[in-house]
Structure 1
Amino acid sequence: MSVYTQLTDDQFAAFCQRFGVSFARAIPITQGIKNSNWFIQTTDDVDGAHSYVFTLFEERPPEDIEKMAVILNQLDGKLPVAAPLALLDLGADSAEKGYVIRYDNKAITLVPCLAGAHPQQTTQAMCYEIGAALAMLHETLQALQPAEEYGVPLYPWAEVRDREMQFMPGDEAKLMSDIWRAYSDLPLATLPRGLCHLDMFADNTLWDLSLSNSQKGAARLTGLLDFTEVSVEHYVMDIAITINDFCTTWGDAEQGETVNFDRSKMAAFLQGYESKRQLGEDEKRALPVMLAKAAVIFWLLRLNVIHYNRTEGRTGDNIMVKNPDLMKRLAAYHWSHVEKEQNTVFVLEHARCKDDDKNNDVEDFKLIGVFATEQQAQAAINQLKSQPGFKEYPNGFHIDAYPLNQINWSSGFDFY
């Protein structure tokens, strides 16, 4: 959230009146990068409190914002969201509620403030909770059909990629191209899709952090914000976008600090997500590449903001630009894991020990097979656990990862 369009107090008062709100003061919000936002204090607020958030959408057409209002109403009561206030001056003949003021071909909404604060850092417990919330969002919005009528069009990131890659160093352009190609090779046509948030960063969430000092990890989710990007997309892409922010500690790019991704937080997130919606095996296999592609998208988004700020002369203290280099580093991190997996095989074995042997001497050993991914090996375990010869010893399975260059295929199957 930033401030690009300037409004007077008289304009604020007139707009707020249309929502039935008595305006007292507007306070600019500088976090974020796309729209103009203010906290609104009313004549009833005291001690510096503010009751509403006033947003002027700089790029999205008003029709898209009306769709967002319907989406928020669908989620209201199931998740902590702030549904836009309805306009009071539509007239008795209006069959539907309206939520958007049109000003200078831009949309304006007023939503109630939600309690809580943006987290400065996340915990595994918070990652679990946001994972469960995202799954609930995916499940709940399936009621809005056809989904394409409610989601806004996806941004043409390929066009931004083609423009920006012309000016990138060769290694950066190759990284972006490799990730894009790997994404294109995924079974995109069969991966589950639906309405997705696509911007669920920690600064788009609110939490009750009051218990954190006395009870570690007890923060409670109190708000989900910024539904302007809701589109029809693969659920696993929405998962990847959220994981990338909630599970990453961001360093200062100017100081040369690295991006620290916490895989234990990712595991907690996925556990929370699957408590509400089970992931398919194809989604699990696609996730590593989706994590890299999601980082590329936000790398491009930040480059795009810099491009438009420059071409449109946007300057001033109220304009905040997030450094794209951090997302580039996260993309490189995820891609290194994809490349490592591409050069690794996973060997599944099963060992059965003698029942009366306290030394765990192996009575029977089976090499089950060699798999391209750990997820495939795990799927094999799930199938074999119920089969004769294995179901009596369900804990005897073991998966080992080996680099391809450590396997001597010429000897049948052996390791260097």
Structure 2
Amino acid sequence: MAVFTPVSLDDVGQWITQFPLGQATALKGIASGIENSNFFLSTEAGEYVLTIFENLSFEQLPFYLQLMRHLAQHGVLVPAPVANEQGELCVALHGKPASIVSKLEGSSQMAPQPVHCAAVGAMLAKMHLAGRDFPLRQPNLRGLSWWRETAPQLLPVISAAEASLLHDEMQFQEAFAAGATYARLQAGPVHADLFRNNVMFDGERLTGFFDFYFAGCDTWLFDVAVTVNDWCIDLDSGVLDAARVRAMLDAYHAVRPFTTDEQAAWQPMLRAAALRFWLSRLYDLHKPREAEILTPHDPTHFERILRERIATPAPQLY
């Protein structure tokens, strides 16, 4: 993630004594993403990731960290949060919430093949099922309510073509979300940001999902749509690759079968997933925050995906 809060090894040295990890031996900022300050942390006990949360509060964080712990306990491959001697998963560092989680093996697969998409689909379905009895509830904080708040801030500063697309798609999504089919969709905790860079592989073996800090409760189908819109496309055009789509959806369906309502909602949900990230990237572009390390994302990428989803029907769920 982008580093907004500078932290030195000396800063971590005293702070980490409350965790059962021994001394900190190395610390390196991670320069990708734009939401939190992340660091690779080496300790006498092993390799970890330290996160300082720039936007989430102490009150919000139990949902994310306890969800990760719950999923790990149910066999889902995710980083395990480390508790301090008081059993706390989140502790202040430089006055901000901070946590330590285990570091996953492997690396991100940025040129996925159908075999990788199938592994992601199966694990995503397993994650959804594992979350059914998770007791905490929090809405998707980048869902429809956030779109309603954000779109009016962007309309005055984007181009006429962008404004026309945004206005029309918001109307479409408002009508879709108010319909009976949407109301019947199965829901629960979702990752909501399962891009290629948030999954680790060792060869063809999936080693874990990470970065759950956009997670919330939403429809499972939205989570699938977000994932397909990143893993199963040609990055230059946004066009879906049928083989990768089929591999991901079939693997998911084998673990958690899709419903007839989900089949009916599939095309609108792919558009909703594209809209969500187009909006957030427009927002980050036009209303940026200062950061020591910043990797901005191009909003036109998801504008292309949204226009493509409107123009071209996607492969069916099953």
Q: Report the TM-score when normalising by structure 1.
A: 0.70
Q: Is 1:179–1:335's contact at 8 Å kept on the other side of the alignment?
A: no
For 2:316 and 2:131, the matched residues in 1 are separated by 32
Q: Distance in 2 between matches of 1:59 and 1:238?
A: 22
Question: 1:120 deviation in Å?
Answer: 2.0
Mark the runs of 5 or more structure 1 residues left unpaired by the alignment: 46-50, 91-96, 210-218, 252-257, 342-372, 379-416
The offset of 1:152, in angstroms, is: 6.0
Q: Which runs of 5+ in 2 are unaligned?
A: none
Partner of 2:81: 84
Give how far 1:28 is off.
0.9
User: Structure 1 pair 374/33, CA: closer, same or farther in 2 (3 Å)?
Assistant: closer
Could you tell me how far apart the structure 2 residues matched to 1:198 and 1:273 are? 16
Question: Using a 3 Å threshold, how does the CA distance of structure 1 residues 374 and 98 change in structure 2: closer, same or farther?
Answer: closer
Q: Which residue in 2 is equivalent to 1:295?
A: 274
The amino acid that maps onto 1:240 is A
Post-superposition Cα deviations, 1:258-307, rounded to whole Å, max 9, x if no partner, equal 33421221121110111111111111121111111211110111122223
Are residues 1:234 and 2:235 paired? no
1:332 maps to what in 2? 307
Normalised to the residue count of structure 2, the TM-score between the two structures is 0.90
Bigger Cα Rg: 1
Secondary structure (helix, strand or coil) at the match of 1:63 reads coil
Q: Report if the CA contact (8 A) 2:15-2:93 is conserved.
A: no
CA RMSD of aligned residues (A): 2.2
CA gap 1:110/1:44 in 2 versus in 1, 3 angstroms: closer
Structure in which a larger fraction of residues adopt helix: 2
Distance 2:141 2:303 in 1: 25
* Alignment partners' CA distance in 2, 1:374 and 1:246: 16
Amino acid at match of 2:207: T
Residue among 108, 122, 141 paired with 1:118? 108
Q: Is the 8 A contact 1:121 1:249 kept in 2?
A: no
- Secondary structure of the residue aligned to 1:239 is helix
Specify which of 261, 271, 283 is matched with residue 304 of structure 1.
283
Deviation of 1:315 after TM superposition, in Å, equals 4.9
- Secondary structure of the structure 2 residue equivalent to 1:236: helix
Name 1:137's counterpart in structure 2: 127
Q: 2:52, 2:98 within 8 Å by CA — same for their partners in 1?
A: yes
Separation in 1, partners of 2:3, 2:10: 17
CA distance in 1: counterparts of 2:58 and 2:147, whole angstroms: 22
- CA contact under 8 A between 1:67 and 1:151: conserved in structure 2? no
Identity %: 26
2: CA distance, partners of 1:267 / 1:374: 9
1:107 corresponds to 2:103:
no
Count residues in correspondence. Answer: 310
Deviations 1:192-211 (A, max 9, x none): 221111011110000012xx
